[in-house]
Amino acid sequence: MLLKILPESFITNSTNITNTNKCFICSEVLNKHKETIIENTAGCLFKITFNNEPLELEITEYLECVEFTAPKGTIIVSNKIFDNLLIDFIGEYYVDIDIFVPPQASKVVFKIENRDIFCLEDIKGFLEHEIGKKYKFLQINQELIIENYHLTVKELEPYQVCLINNTDLEVEFDVPVTKPPTPPPLEKENIVNDLSEDVLASGFEGVRTIEPSPILSREQLRQKRLAFYSK
């Protein structure tokens, strides 16, 4: 089903969908998929696909419907989704829309840079509560902002897009290991005692190996001194 896509400036009430995957859809879509929506009490998503002909790209986004109150034959999405679809705000564009029923998430691995989250007593409970308030579903590579913590969905099971309501998540973290800086190598004094065959073959002549001077005893030094002054 093709719908004309509109940016969030077309919203006529106070609902804010900025920087979200939420949308408003026309009532025709509700009438078409009413039975599926009723059967899936945990919720449904809507999959929209945009065929960007100039770039020869087919781009897909998954959206949560806030209301079925958009003007006839349209869907209203956040400006973030407009950017993700690489759509210009000037012009008329259409997306193909279909209902999508993802599975419930069973496991999620978050990539996190801010280690301060590990100061919380119950990280898993905190995330389940806060994510459940703000997000209905997760998908691979999705970036989440929970209070002051920034997380990225690195792994998700059993599918790349999953509902997260009514589920007990198995939460894991992928925390980059901070390695200490590598110390600079120590400078070494290289002493060359002889020349390689390659150097000798290149024509260097008259170069001789300097033998270390022998260490003389006190008596030997005395004899050398007497011999010098008796000349």
Residue 131 in domain: yes
Could you report the per-residue pLDDT of 67-90, keeping only the tens digit for each? 999 999 999 999 999 999 999 888
CATH of the domain at 88: 2.40.40.50
Alpha-carbon gap, residue 218 to 224, rounded angstroms: 10
Residue 164 in domain: yes
Residue 218 in domain: no
Average pLDDT score over residue span 181-189: 62
CA proximity to 133, closest of 143, 144, 122: 144
Give the chain's domain count.
Answer: 2
Q: Is there a single domain that holds both residue 42 and residue 125?
A: no
Alpha-carbon gap, residue 11 to 135, rounded angstroms: 20
Tell me if 76 sits within 8 A of 65, measured CB to CB. Answer: no
Residue 179 in domain: no
**174, 197, 221 — which closes off a domain?**
174
**100, 128, 156 — which closes off a domain?**
100
Q: Is there a single domain that holds both residue 130 and residue 65?
A: no
Q: Look at the pTM and tell me if it is higher than 0.85.
A: no
Residue 151 in domain: yes
Confidence of residue 43 (pLDDT cuts 50, 70, 90): confident
Residue 182 in domain: no
Alpha-carbon gap, residue 102 to 54, rounded angstroms: 31
Query: Which of 27-41, 134-148, 177-191, 204-218 is most confident?
Result: 27-41
Q: Is there a single domain that holds both residue 86 and residue 119?
A: no
Q: Is the pLDDT of residue 185 over 80?
A: no
Q: Strands, E, within the chain: which ranges?
A: 2-6, 22-26, 45-52, 57-70, 74-77, 94-100, 107-112, 137-139, 143-146, 149-157, 161-163, 170-174
**48, 76, 100 — which closes off a domain?**
100
CATH of the domain at 136: 3.10.330.10
Alpha-carbon gap, residue 158 to 154, rounded angstroms: 13
Q: Is the pLDDT of residue 124 over 70?
A: yes
Q: Which domain holds residue 56?
A: 2-100
Q: Is the pLDDT of residue 200 over 60?
A: no
Three-state secondary structure call for residue 151? strand
What percentage of residues in the chain have a pLDDT greater than 90? 47
Q: Is there a single domain that holds both residue 7 and residue 63?
A: yes
Sequence-distant (≥ 6) Cβ neighbours of residue 2 within 8 angstroms = 94, 95, 96, 97
Q: Is there a single domain that holds both residue 47 and residue 118?
A: no
Alpha-carbon gap, residue 95 to 51, rounded angstroms: 8
Residue 125 in domain: yes
Q: Is there a single domain that holds both residue 26 and residue 56?
A: yes
